[in-house]
Amino acid sequence: MKTTILSLIVFFVSLFLYTKFAGPIPFSITNVTSNKSEAFTVTGEGKISVKPDIATVNVGVQATGTTVKEVQDNLNKNINAVSAAVKKLGVDEKDIKTSNYNMNPQYDYTASRQRIIGYQASSNLTIKVRAIEKVNNVVDSATGAGANTVGGISFDVDDKTTGENDARKLAVADAKAKASQAATTAGFTLGKIINYQESTNGYRPPILYAKADMMMTTGAGAPTELNTGSTDITLTVTLSYEVK
C-alpha cells in the first residue's frame, strides 16, 4: 500500500515538474471540413388554362322609410324574397350568406339645423352558384325578386389540385430542359437535384362588376348573359443541381 501511494506521489511530482519547465503536453486534433459549393440553379414555368366551374354573385337590396321599423320590415321582406328565389333554382341555403347590413339616418339641413327625416338601409347577399350554368338565372331571379344592386360577380375553380399538378409537371419539365441545354452548351455535367422550390401566382378568377338596372327588379329587360371565359394557373419551380 505504501509503495502504491509513493508511486502516485512520484508520478504527479514528475508531471508537475515536466509541465513547469518543458511546457504543456502537446495534443494533436485534426479537423477536416469539406464543403462542396458547386451548384447550378435553373427556373422553369408551367402555365395552363382552366375553365371555371363555380360562380359567386353579390346582390343587394336597398330600402328607405320614415322610421327604423318601416325600413327594417321592407328590407327584410325583400332580402328574404331574393333568398327564396335563388333557392328555387337549387342554390343550397349554406351557399347564401349575408355579407353586409347597414342602417343610416337621412338628414335635412335646411333652416340651419340638422333634422332626421327618414332612414336608409341596405343588405347584401353573397351567393355561391355551384351549378355554374345557372349563374345567369340566379342573377335574373334575384333582381326579379327585389335585388336592386348586383356586383362583384366572380368565377372560380372549386378544386384547383388537378390544375396545379398539371402546371407543376410543365414547370419541372421546362426547368430540366433548360438545365440540360445549359450544361451541354457550357460543358459541365449535371449531378442529382439537391434543392427544389416552387411558387404559384395562384388562380385569380375573373371578376365582373355590374349594377342592376332598376327595370330588372320588376322582371323587365333582356335576360342576363355572363360568360365564364377561362383563366391561367401559373406555377414556377426552381431546381438546384450538383455540378460534377
In a domain, 2, yes or no: no
CATH number of the domain encompassing residue 82: 3.30.70.2970
For residues 166 and 92, state if they share a domain: no
Q: Total structural domains in the chain?
A: 2
Same domain, 169 and 95: no
Widest CA span in the chain: 122
114 and 172 in a common domain: no
Cα gap 51→207, rounded to integer Å: 14
**What is the reported pLDDT for 110?**
82
> 10-residue block means of pLDDT along the chain (244 residues)?
57 54 46 56 95 94 94 95 96 94 91 87 96 94 94 88 94 97 94 93 55 41 77 93 92
Whether residue 116 is found in the same domain as residue 193: no
Residue 75 φ/ψ region, left for φ over 0, alpha for ψ in the -120 to 50 degree band, beta for the rest: alpha
pLDDT at 208: 54
83 and 122 share one domain: yes
pTM of the entire predicted model: 0.66
Kindly state the cell numbers that stand for 128: 355561391
183 vs 190: CA distance, rounded Å: 7
Same domain, 85 and 99: yes
User: Left, alpha or beta for 34 (phi > 0: left; psi -120 to 50: alpha)?
Assistant: beta
In terms of residue numbers, what domain contains 141? 52-158+204-222
Q: Is 159 helix (H, G, I), strand (E, B) or coil?
A: coil
**99 lies in the same domain as 173:** no
* 64 DSSP β-pair partners: 120
Residue 174, number of CB atoms within 10 A of its CB:
18
